[in-house]
Structure 1
Amino acid sequence: MQLELRHLEAVRQIAEAGSLGRAAARLGVSQPALSAQLRRIERVTGGELFVRGRLGVTPTPLGEYVLSVARRVLGEMEALAAGARAAAPHPTLRLGCIHLVLVERLIARLEEELPDHEIDMAIEHSVTTLTRMLGAGHYDAILYGEVADHEVPLPDSAAARTLISKEPACVRLSATHPLAGQEQIDLVDLAGETWLTIAEDDDGGPEAMVSACLRAGFTPKLRYRINDRKIRYDLIATGRAISLSQPTSPHAEGTVLRPLAGDPLTGRVRLAWNRAAVSERRAGLLYRAAGRAYLDGVPDNTFYRAWWEARPELHPVLD
């Protein structure tokens, strides 16, 4: 057997994940299949690449050498592919996003800003997945959020701009909730509520929510982790849970969106791109399309429109 790029990718994923199980999930294979592949790779390289321990796997000296070569070779191949796409007359733009509200309006704005480009857009539930796939060359650019002080680590090949530097978190609750009639809600008044979030909320949101609630004097009760938006809204509408939400979120039948008094929790929206695949000009057009898509949703919430208009220093510069 000769080593191939897929073998080098397997070694890299095992090292980055720190365990065969997590690496197998990232690669979309079973753990036994990945273990068998690793044994074949180790036969070719002439020795054990990882030491298995109670807390996962760590590279051996031989593994460190193979890993360093693997990263260099894979990086060069990814740069080659990205550069070739960038040199094409009208390259396809491969865009990855978490489920930000602006994504629903983004296609129309991309068609206006990049009329000659094919758009390949995918939604991921994990920011970690987005950044890994950006670094691996599967995406040319990504749109994602960060909550409170959390900073998402980006690959060395990426450049980034902040689209929205600050937006306040709102709370979505049932239209029949006792607090639904208030113009704004104090976080402490939600102390007895059941909360839900998405399954892989790795943008710093859950940690920031817990911290904000602790500052308000209580520990939030998180019961549901659900990605499907309809199921989440149904749970909220029937009064089984509440959730944090972006202020530009659309109306959902049976629910209301209310601001939290004093803005105890805020987030950011960012754009990152692979410098080898996306030129500065194209990145600027993508930034402008995303900014216009975000602004399209500001008027949907009366509270947020007033909040936003009072803070022009937060507005993205789109010219």
Structure 2
Amino acid sequence: MQLELRHLEAVRVIAEAGSLGRAAVRLGVSQPALSAQLRRIEAVTGGELFVRSRRGVQPTPLGEMVLSAARRVLGEMEALTAGTRAAAPHPTLRIGGILLVLIDRLLGHTEEELPGHEIDITIEHSATRLTRMLGAGQYDAILYGEIADHEVPLPEGVVARTLIAKEPACVRLAATHPLAAQDEIKLIDLAGETFTTLTDEDDGGPEGMADACRRAGFTPTLRYRIDDRKMRWQLIAAERAVSLCQPTSPPAEGTVLRPLAGDPLTGRIRLAWNRAGLSEHHAGLLYRAAARAYLDSIPTNTFYRAWWEARPELHPALD
């Protein structure tokens, strides 16, 4: 077997993710398949590339050497891809995003603000992967969230603008749950509940939730990590879990969305773009499209509409 670009990408992602499980999710393969691939790569390189422990994986000295070469080669290939695309007469506008609610409504507004452009929207499950691909020129712009005080690091050549400066976390729970009858829920009342979240959240969400729960007086039980939105909602509807959600999250059969008293956890939404792929003017139009998409989602939540209207200083500028 000879090493290919996909093998170098696997090594890089494993190192960045810190565990085979998280790396498998980012690469879209099963963990056993990735483990088998790593063994084949190690057979070619002549030794172990990572040491495994209960805390995850760390590169060995040989792994550090292979990782350095992988980053250099992949960086050159990404630069080549970005360069050839920049020379194209009418490049497609490539947008990457996390599973944010506004992505559902973004396409129509982007077509209105940027008529004539072909648009490619891709969903990723890792903010780290999104920003790295943006910096490498594989996306022109990305939309992502940050929870609490967490800040996603951005590569050189990338500019970011805050779209929504603050939004409160809500809790989604079964419509039959005893707490569902309340207009708002205290975070401490969720002590003892089982939480579900996305598979690979590196936006500060799990850490922010844990910190908020500790301040409330308990340690949350996070048992289910599921990317599929429908599957997560079915799990909640069956009273097997609860989940913290954006306040603009749409209705889901068998579940209700309730505000958390006192806003113990908040997040923000940001738009970032690569200067080499998107002009300031087009970035402004995309910002406007994303803002309009977000504003469209506010009426789905009566509580949040009142919360939002009382805070005009948080509203995005549309001019």
TM-score range, shorter chain: 0.7 to 0.9
The letter of the residue matching 2:290 is A
> Identity of paired residues, percent?
72
Once the 2 structures are TM-superposed, how far is the Cα of residue 122 of structure 1 from its aligned partner? 1.2
Once the 2 structures are TM-superposed, how far is the Cα of residue 254 of structure 1 from its aligned partner? 1.2
Distance 1:103 1:124 in 2: 12
How does 1:123-272 map onto structure 2 within 5 Å? 123-272=123-272
Given the superposition, is the C-alpha separation of residues 52 and 200 from structure 1 closer, same or farther in structure 2, using an over 3 Å criterion?
Answer: closer
Once the 2 structures are TM-superposed, how far is the Cα of residue 263 of structure 1 from its aligned partner? 0.3
How does 1:290-301 map onto structure 2 within 5 Å? 290-301=290-301
Counterpart residue number, 2:317 = 317
Given the superposition, is the C-alpha separation of residues 223 and 292 from structure 1 closer, same or farther in structure 2, using an over 3 Å criterion?
Answer: same
How does 1:280-299 map onto structure 2 within 5 Å? 280-299=280-299
Once the 2 structures are TM-superposed, how far is the Cα of residue 20 of structure 1 from its aligned partner? 9.1
| 1:35 aligns to 2:42 (yes or no) | yes
| 1:101 aligns to 2:105 (yes or no) | no
The structure with the largest alpha-carbon Rg is: 1
Given the superposition, is the C-alpha separation of residues 264 and 251 from structure 1 closer, same or farther in structure 2, using an over 3 Å criterion?
Answer: same
Once the two structures are superposed, residues 228-271 of structure 1 have per-residue CA deviations (whole angstroms, 9 ceiling, x without a partner) of 11111111112111110100011111111111011000001111
Counterpart residue number, 1:57 = 59
Distance 1:223 1:9 in 2: 29
Once the two structures are superposed, residues 150-183 of structure 1 have per-residue CA deviations (whole angstroms, 9 ceiling, x without a partner) of 1111222321111111000000111111221211
Once the 2 structures are TM-superposed, how far is the Cα of residue 203 of structure 1 from its aligned partner? 1.1
Structure-1-length-normalised TM-score? 0.84
- 2:127/2:203 contact within 8 Å kept: yes
Task: Give the secondary structure class of the aligned counterpart of 2:142.
Answer: strand
Structure 2, unaligned runs of 5 or more: none
Distance 1:203 1:181 in 2: 31
The letter of the residue matching 2:59 is V
Distance 2:313 2:304 in 1: 15
Question: What is the alpha-carbon root mean square deviation over aligned residues?
Answer: 3.1
The letter of the residue matching 1:31 is L
Structure 1, unaligned runs of 5 or more: 40-47
The letter of the residue matching 1:57 is P
Once the 2 structures are TM-superposed, how far is the Cα of residue 26 of structure 1 from its aligned partner? 6.3
- 1:184/1:261 contact within 8 Å kept: yes
- 1:172/1:243 contact within 8 Å kept: yes
Distance 2:236 2:3 in 1: 52
- 1:83/1:276 contact within 8 Å kept: no
Distance 1:172 1:22 in 2: 25
Q: Decide which moves more: 8-17 or 156-165.
A: 8-17
- 1:102/1:293 contact within 8 Å kept: yes
Once the two structures are superposed, residues 61-94 of structure 1 have per-residue CA deviations (whole angstroms, 9 ceiling, x without a partner) of x949x93x87567556544543543454431012
Q: Decide which moves more: 6-15 or 87-96.
A: 6-15
The letter of the residue matching 1:56 is Q
- 2:169/2:265 contact within 8 Å kept: yes
- 1:193/1:221 contact within 8 Å kept: yes
Structure-2-length-normalised TM-score? 0.84
Task: Give the secondary structure class of the aligned counterpart of 2:109.
Answer: helix
The letter of the residue matching 2:160 is A
The letter of the residue matching 1:155 is P
Task: Give the secondary structure class of the aligned counterpart of 1:180.
Answer: helix
Task: Report how many residues are paired.
Answer: 308
Once the two structures are superposed, residues 261-289 of structure 1 have per-residue CA deviations (whole angstroms, 9 ceiling, x without a partner) of 11000001111122211111121111111
Once the 2 structures are TM-superposed, how far is the Cα of residue 202 of structure 1 from its aligned partner? 1.6
Task: Give the secondary structure class of the aligned counterpart of 2:179.
Answer: coil
Once the two structures are superposed, residues 187-229 of structure 1 have per-residue CA deviations (whole angstroms, 9 ceiling, x without a partner) of 1111121111111122111111111111111111222111111
The letter of the residue matching 1:226 is I
- 2:3/2:44 contact within 8 Å kept: no
